[in-house]
């Protein structure tokens, strides 16, 4: 028996138009109508949730450390490469530097 797929696809333009109208991307009527039993059954059927037990009594909140402000000189070609990747290029530069640091730690 094939698993029922409830994935709905929308174009970026359709989602942007919906946001402008104030429409939520969540079907709150469907969510509110879901019973606890239906929710538990859905969780139990999810293979990613198998054996997962979370002890919320001992859960902690860990806030990310603030990033340091840095003015740095890099080759124009390096900066151009990252800028071409679009919005978030500074985050990607940070990820590359973090990966390098972690690789150095593993070698030691």
Question: pLDDT tens digit string along 89-107?
Answer: 999 999 999 999 999 999 9
User: Is 63 a member of any domain?
Assistant: no
User: Is 68 a member of any domain?
Assistant: no
Q: CA angle, 96 as apex, 93 and 99 as ends, to 5°? A: 150
User: Is 87 a member of any domain?
Assistant: yes
- Residue in 30, 57, 59 with CA at minimum distance from that of residue 42: 30
User: Is 7 a member of any domain?
Assistant: no
Residue range 7-64, pLDDT digits in tens:
888 888 888 888 788 766 677 788 889 999 998 888 888 888 777 777 878 888 888 8
The token pair at 83 is: 């800028």
Domain total of the chain: 2
Question: What is the residue range of 38's domain?
Answer: 12-51
For residues 26 and 31, give the distance between their C-alpha atoms in angstroms, rounded to a whole number: 8
- Residue in 96, 86, 52, 90 with CA at minimum distance from that of residue 68: 90
User: Is 96 a member of any domain?
Assistant: yes
pTM of the predicted model, to two decimals?
0.43
């Amino acid at each position: 028996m094939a698993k029922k797929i409830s994935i709905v696809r929308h174009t970026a333009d359709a989602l942007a138009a919906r946001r402008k109208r104030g429409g939520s991307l969540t079907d709150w009527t469907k969510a509110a109508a879901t019973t606890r039993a239906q929710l538990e059954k859905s969780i139990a059927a999810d293979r990613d949730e198998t054996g997962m037990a979370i002890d919320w009594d001992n859960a902690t909140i860990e806030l990310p450390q603030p990033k340091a402000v840095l003015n740095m000189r890099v080759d124009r070609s390096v900066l151009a490469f990252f800028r071409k990747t679009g919005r978030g290029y500074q985050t990607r530069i940070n990820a590359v530097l973090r990966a390098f640091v972690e690789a150095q730690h593993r070698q030691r």
